[in-house]
Amino acid sequence: MVFRKLPGVSASGMGLRLSQKFVFLLFLSGLVTLCFGALFFLPDSVRLKRIFLSKNENPAVTVGSDNELSKKVPGDPEHLRAGLKGGEGANVKLKVSRKPSVTHGARTVERSVGSRAQDERSPARAQEPAARDDYEAFKKCLLKPALGKNKGTPSDSETLQRREKVKEMMKFAWDNYKRYAWGQNELRPLTRNGHIGNMFGGLRGASIVDSLDTLYIMGLMEEYEEAKEWVQNNLNLISNGEASLFEVNIRYVGGLLSAYYLTGAEIFKQKVVELGEKLLPAFNTPTGIPRGVINLGSWSWGWASAGSSILAEFGTLHLEFLHLSQLSGNPLFTEKVMNIRKLLNKIEKPHGLYPNFLSPVSGNWVQHHVSIGGLGDSFYEYLIKSYLMSDKTDQEAKKMYYSAMEAIETNLVQKSPGGLTYVAEWRGGILDHKMGHLACFSGGMIGIGADDGPTEQRQHYLDLAAEITHTCHESYSRSATKLGPEAFRFDAGAEATATRLSDRYYILRPEVIESYMYMWRLTHDPKYRQWGWEAVEALEKHCRVDAGFSGIRDVYASTVSHDNMQQSFFLSETLKYLYLLFSDDDLLPLEDWVFNTEAHPLPVIRKTCLQEHGAKHDHGQTDLE
C-alpha cells in the first residue's frame, strides 16, 4: 500500500502528520489526474470510453449541439493541398485545393460523432447489399450514354486532331510512369524514378488510381486493363502511415468510385468501400469535424490531436461519402458529412463568409482568413455540386452556395484599374489583392451554378464566370512560357502577374483549363478551345521532357528549370479536362455527371429512378433515403 512506503506512517495511517497528509493527498490527486488524462491520448477504444460513459452518453457533440466548428492545418506541408491541390515539386507550398464538402439536404442527422467501434470500422461489411444490380440500376437512370453516341468524337478535323494530341500526351505520361515509377505514387521524370511522399499514409499507386477513368474515357484500354490489374492485385489498403484525409478521399476514393461507375467492375466497388471504412475514425472529434490527418492502420488517436481543420479539407467529402453510402448501403458515411453541414449552419459567419480554419475540438473559427483559393476553394465547389448531384433536390446545399456567393461578391470580388475581375483574399477585414491559381476553378464553378440562381441573376453569374476565366487566361498570356504562376497580384502596379519569386512556379495545375472546359460547354464560344490549345502548346514546349512531364520553377523565365515531378493530378485533371474540351458535349454530359475536385466523374443520384429499378440494400431502405 502507499501508506507503507511513507516513512513514519503506520499501517492504519493514523500516525500521519498534517504535512504528510498534505503531501500524500497532493501525490494521490496528481496520480489520478495523470491517469485519467492519459486515457484521451491512448488509441481510440470504445471499451475505454465505456468505463466513463454510459451507453446513452457520447463523448462527441451531436448534430444539434451548440458547439461550433474549427479546422486543422496538418503539420506536414504535403498535406496542405486541400487547398492543397497538391504539389510535390521542389519549392512548392502545398495548398488546399478546391474541394468543398456538402451533404445531401434531404436528410437531417441526429447521430453523434461517438459511434460504436463496429460502426466506425466495418460498416460496409455489416451491411453488404443483398442485390448485385446497383450498377445496372444506375445505368438505367442516366439520361444519356456515359461515353456519348460516338465517344465524344468531334466532327471537325482540327478539333479531332487536337484531341488526339491530348490523348498522345496522356499515353506518353502513362508509359513513362509505368516504365520508371510503376506502383509508386508519382514519377520523377528527370531522374527517371518514382516518388512516394507522405500524403497518402503508405498507400501506393496514386497515379494509377487517379488515371483509371482518364484512360477509360480516352479509349486507352490496354493501359486501363494494366491499371485495373494493379488495383486488383497490388492496391494494399493496410497501412499504418499518417495520410491526408482530403487527398486520400479526392484521389483514391474519387478515382475508385468513378472507375466503378464507368465500368461496373466489382473490384473497384470492393476496394473503395473498404477504404471508406478506414476514413471514418477521422470524425471522432468532439464536434464531428474530421481531423485533417488519419492513420489508415488498425488504430486511431481519437481526438487527442491538436490544431485546426481546414475548410477545403472537411468541406470536400460530401460527394464521395454520399456515393459510399449509395454503394455500401451504410448511412453512416452520409451522416458524417451531414453533421458537418449541420454544424456549419449553426456557427456564426463573419459578413456571411466562411473562414479557412476551424477547431475540431472547440468548434470555433481559429482565424478570419477567407479565400476561394488554397484552403477554401473546394468547399464552395462541393456546395453547388452537391445540389447538382442530388438531381437538384438538395435545397440546403443550394441555399448555402448562393448565400456564400452573395457574401463573396460583396466582400471579395474586385475590378482592377485595367478592367480585370478577380477574387481577392480577406484577412480579418483587410483585403489582400492576390488570386491563386487554385482560385481559377471558380470561373467554371460560377458558370455551372448560373442557371439555378435567382432568375434576375443568371446572366450576371454567367458574365462573372466569363470575366474571372478571362483574368486567369491573362495570368497565362502575360508570362514568357504562356503558363500561369501559382499566384498573381493586383497591387503596386501589377495586374495578373506574380510579383514574388515564391509565386512564379507552375506544377501542371488544371484549374484554368477546368474553367475553359466548363465555359466551352456553357457558351460554345470558340475562344475557350483556342485558349486550351495554347495551353497544350505551352505544356509541350516547356513541361515535356524525355521521360514524362514536369512542372517548372519560373513561368517568366525564357529558359525553364524543371521541378522533376509529374503530378498525379496532371493525369487525372489537366489532361482529362483538355480531352473533354476538344470532345463533343455528350462525352460525360453534365446532366448526368458531376466531377469531384480531382476531376473524377460521379453520377447524379436520382433516388426516385433508383427506387423504381430496385437499387435496394438488405436493410430494407432505398439508397440514401
Name the residue with higher pLDDT: 241 or 564. 564
Choice among 486, 503, 554, 598 that is catalytic: 486
Q: What is the pLDDT of residues 452-505, one digit of tens each?
A: 999 999 999 999 999 999 999 999 999 999 999 999 999 988 999 999 999 999
Burial class (CB in 10 A: 0-12, 13-18, 19+), 429: exposed
Residue 481 marked ligand-binding: no
DSSP state letter for 596 = -
Catalytic annotation on 320? no
**% of the chain with per-residue pLDDT over 70:** 76
What does the H/E/C string look like for 201-248?
CCCCCHHHHHHHHHHHHCCCHHHHHHHHHHHHHHCCCCCCCEEEHHHH
Dist. CA 19–CA 9, nearest whole Å:
12
Choice among 88, 186, 210, 377 that is catalytic: 377
Q: Write out the three cell numbers for 66.
A: 451548440
Radius of gyration of the chain (CA): 26
Judged against a pLDDT cut of 90, whether residue 539 lies above it is answered with yes
Q: Which range, 49-53, 109-113, 355-359, is most confident?
A: 355-359
Name the residue with higher pLDDT: 277 or 137. 277
Render 417-486 in DSSP notation, one character per residue.
Answer: TTS-EEE-EEETTEEE-EEEGGGGGHHHHHHHHGGGS-GGGHHHHHHHHHHHHHHHHHHHHTSSSS---S
Judged against a pLDDT cut of 90, whether residue 448 lies above it is answered with yes
Judged against a pLDDT cut of 90, whether residue 48 lies above it is answered with no
Render 292-330 in DSSP notation, one character per residue.
Answer: SEEE-SS---TT---S-EEHHHHTS-HHHHHHHHHHH--
Choice among 247, 495, 563, 598 that is catalytic: 247
Mean pLDDT score, 552-573: 98
If pLDDT is split at 50, 70 and 90, which confidence band does 18 have? low
- Range in 90-104, 212-226, 473-487, 537-551 with the lowest mean pLDDT: 90-104
Comparing CA positions, the residue from 325, 310, 365, 339 lying closest to residue 58 is 339
Dist. CA 403–CA 400, nearest whole Å:
5
Judged against a pLDDT cut of 80, whether residue 128 lies above it is answered with no
Q: Across-strand partners of 622?
A: 616
Average per-residue pLDDT for the chain: 83
If pLDDT is split at 50, 70 and 90, which confidence band does 296 have? confident
Taking each continuous run of H as one helix and of E as one strand, the counts in the chain are 23, 18
Comparing CA positions, the residue from 602, 600, 604, 551 lying closest to residue 209 is 600
Sequence letter at residue 265: A
Q: Write out the three cell numbers for 446.
A: 460560377
Catalytic annotation on 511? yes
Q: Write out the three cell numbers for 82.
A: 486541400
Q: What is the pLDDT of residue 95?
A: 39
Long-range contacts formed by 30-35: CB under 8 A, 24+ apart: none
Choice among 44, 68, 381, 511 that is catalytic: 511
Catalytic annotation on 598? no
Q: What is the pLDDT of residues 174-186, one digit of tens each?
A: 999 999 999 999 9
Comparing CA positions, the residue from 202, 217, 214 lying closest to residue 177 is 214
Judged against a pLDDT cut of 60, whether residue 320 lies above it is answered with yes
Comparing CA positions, the residue from 569, 600, 439, 589 lying closest to residue 512 is 439
Mean pLDDT score, 153-176: 98
Dist. CA 207–CA 135, nearest whole Å:
25
Q: What is the pLDDT of residues 394-426, one digit of tens each?
A: 999 999 999 999 999 999 999 999 999 999 999
Q: What is the pLDDT of residues 189-232, one digit of tens each?
A: 999 999 999 899 999 999 999 999 999 999 999 999 999 999 99
Q: What is the pLDDT of residues 348-362, one digit of tens each?
A: 999 999 999 999 999
Greatest CA separation for the chain: 102
